[in-house]
């Protein structure tokens, strides 16, 4: 039957070429599946849509096309990841008023405490379970940030507002900053350890920090100028913003600066150097929305199907230590910063997700120290896999229990 059909095809001069459009087909199927499952999960289970997106990613991983399958993230996928994360991090940074740290200094203390405690606890836990010092340190560094992507997305999807939401945004932005700084320092330390030129080892992270900071300033300034002149709520203006962020991202990759620090610091720069409120559509409109869907699919597809057996237990231990450390810090210091007990529970829960940021940090590690990263892959990817889904549920649970979900869903 098939032979006859193929014969007919060649006779009629019809050419059906699956191989040329495989990528496009795959992409479209992923987007459709993501949107459907996301909507289904939202409507019938009341869960965030990103859970649906992650499940699609899981499906992709199980079918063998996952990001972890080939051992390295293909550049196209990495680009989508970076761009989507840039949008989310920029939006997050633009929501963080550093002045609040001045009027409420215990918040800064809480932030430093939870990050340091997380690093220390996870490091000790990993050493106890048999990892060597550099690996334990690397896992500890990856554990410091709380995924701004998951937090920002769940909070905005459910129209969350209140103290828990504010505090989690602040703490997440800060611990992402600390985490990225720490990871660069870790790399420098690894290099020194391996006997590299000490000057180079020190200058490299400095170059990344200073360069990222300057580019972030330029991007922030650019957005401010645009926003001053155009109404950001209209489509054309958001297109311009999207273009600026993409340009900044391209420059970041060209010069080897941090794709995480630049958008986050640019958002912070925008919010904290001008008093005027900035209002724009979520994720800069539809284009951003698609990118965000892809982000969660990609991270979901990083599920290490084989590595889970090897790294799963370590990952569980690391995540448990991480949750304990963050909760302890938040609870002990919460009262001083004007937080109620119930809000303390909420904030602790909401700080648990681990997602794209950790994946990008891991990918950066892989880029420069491939062998070391390969050792780390089972633990790191398992941790991300576990906490991505659980984390999204935890954030929703936290916001719900704190009573911060909107009366009317947007």
Sites for other proteins among residues 335-354 (CB under 8 A)? 337-338, 340, 343
Out of 40, 162, 285, 367, point to the residue binding other proteins (CB under 8 A): 162
Joined together, the tokens standing for residue 281 give 């559509």
Place of tokens 């430093």: 112
Out of 161, 193, 235, 306, point to the residue binding other proteins (CB under 8 A): 161
191 within 8 A of 201, measured Cβ to Cβ = yes
Out of 39, 132, 193, 231, point to the residue binding other proteins (CB under 8 A): 231
Q: Which stretch binds other proteins (CB under 8 A): 5-13, 14-22, 161-169, 344-352?
A: 161-169
CB of 338 to other proteins, least distance (A): 5
Q: Residue 65 or residue 228: which is nearer to other proteins going by CB?
A: 228
Please tell me whether residue 406 binds other proteins under the rule CB under 8 A: yes
How far apart are the C-alpha atoms of 383 and 390, rounded to whole Å? 11
CB of 134 to other proteins, least distance (A): 39
Please tell me whether residue 234 binds other proteins under the rule CB under 8 A: no
How far apart are the C-alpha atoms of 406 and 363, rounded to whole Å? 36
Q: Work out the number of other CB atoms within 10 angstroms of the CB of residue 11.
A: 8
Cβ within 8 Å of residue 94, ≥6 positions away: 267, 268, 270, 271, 278
List strand residue ranges (DSSP E) for 250-334, in order: none
Out of 1, 12, 16, 279, point to the residue binding other proteins (CB under 8 A): 279
CB of 350 to other proteins, least distance (A): 16
Please tell me whether residue 285 binds other proteins under the rule CB under 8 A: no
At residue 76, the 3 state secondary structure works out as helix
Please tell me whether residue 217 binds other proteins under the rule CB under 8 A: no
Please tell me whether residue 91 binds other proteins under the rule CB under 8 A: no
CB of 385 to other proteins, least distance (A): 33
- Nearest Cα to 60, choosing from 385, 368, 353? 385
Which one-letter DSSP state was computed for residue 62? Answer: I
Q: How far is CA 321 from CA 130, 182, 315, 318, 383, in A?
A: 15, 19, 10, 5, 12
CB of 357 to other proteins, least distance (A): 22
Please tell me whether residue 229 binds other proteins under the rule CB under 8 A: no
Please tell me whether residue 39 binds other proteins under the rule CB under 8 A: no
Count the residues of the shown chain that bind other proteins, applying the rule CB under 8 A. 24
- Nearest Cα to 148, choosing from 213, 199, 92? 92
Cβ within 8 Å of residue 268, ≥6 positions away: 93, 94, 96, 98, 173, 216, 220
Q: x/- binding map, residues 92-111, to other proteins, per CB under 8 A?
A: ---x-x--x--xx-------
CB of 407 to other proteins, least distance (A): 5
Please tell me whether residue 153 binds other proteins under the rule CB under 8 A: no
Please tell me whether residue 156 binds other proteins under the rule CB under 8 A: no
Place of tokens 């420098």: 188
Out of 114, 166, 364, 388, point to the residue binding other proteins (CB under 8 A): 166
How far apart are the C-alpha atoms of 185 and 172, rounded to whole Å? 20
Q: Backbone phi, then psi, for 311, in 5-degree steps?
A: -100, -5
Q: Residue 200 or residue 340: which is nearer to other proteins going by CB?
A: 340
List strand residue ranges (DSSP E) for 233-283, in order: none
| Binding residues vs other proteins (CB under 8 A) | 95, 97, 100, 103-104, 159, 161-163, 166, 170, 231, 275-277, 279, 337-338, 340, 343, 404, 406-408
């Amino acid at each position: 039957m098939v032979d006859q059909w193929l014969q007919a095809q060649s006779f009629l001069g019809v050419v059906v070429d699956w191989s040329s459009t495989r990528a496009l087909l795959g992409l479209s199927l992923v987007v459709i599946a993501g949107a459907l499952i996301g909507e289904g999960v939202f409507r019938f289970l009341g869960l965030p849509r990103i859970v649906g997106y992650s499940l699609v990613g899981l499906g992709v991983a199980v079918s063998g096309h996952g990001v972890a399958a080939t051992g390295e993230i293909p550049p196209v996928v990495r680009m989508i990841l970076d761009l989507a994360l840039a949008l989310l991090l920029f939006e997050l940074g633009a929501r963080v008023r550093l002045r609040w740290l001045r009027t409420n200094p215990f918040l800064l203390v809480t932030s430093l405490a939870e990050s340091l405690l997380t690093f220390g606890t996870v490091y000790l836990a990993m050493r106890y379970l048999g990892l060597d010092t550099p690996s334990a340190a690397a896992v500890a560094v990856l554990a410091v940030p709380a995924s701004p992507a998951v937090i920002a997305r769940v909070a905005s999807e459910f129209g969350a507002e209140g103290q828990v939401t504010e505090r989690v945004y602040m703490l997440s932005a800060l611990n992402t900053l600390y985490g990225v700084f720490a990871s660069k320092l870790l790399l420098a330390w690894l290099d020194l350890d391996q006997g590299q030129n000490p000057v180079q080892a020190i200058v490299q992270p400095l170059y990344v920090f200073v360069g990222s900071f300057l580019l972030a300033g330029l991007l922030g300034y650019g957005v401010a100028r645009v926003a001053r002149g155009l109404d950001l709520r209209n489509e054309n203006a958001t297109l311009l913003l999207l273009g600026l962020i993409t340009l900044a991202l391209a420059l970041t990759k060209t010069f080897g600066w941090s794709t995480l620090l630049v958008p986050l610091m640019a958002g912070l720069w925008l919010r904290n150097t001008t008093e005027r409120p900035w209002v724009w559509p979520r994720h800069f409109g539809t284009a951003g929305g698609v990118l965000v869907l892809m982000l969660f699919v990609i991270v979901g597809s990083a599920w290490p199907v084989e590595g889970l057996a090897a790294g799963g237990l370590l990952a569980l231990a690391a995540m448990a230590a991480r949750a304990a450390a963050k909760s302890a810090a938040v609870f002990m210091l919460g009262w001083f910063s004007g937080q109620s007990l119930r809000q303390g529970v909420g904030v602790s829960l909401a700080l648990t997700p681990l997602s794209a940021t950790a994946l990008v940090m891991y990918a950066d590690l892989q880029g420069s120290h491939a062998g070391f990263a390969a050792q780390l892959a089972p633990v790191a990817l398992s941790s991300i896999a576990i906490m991505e889904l659980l984390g999204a549920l935890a954030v929703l649970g936290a916001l719900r229990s704190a009573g911060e979900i909107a009366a009317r869903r947007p």
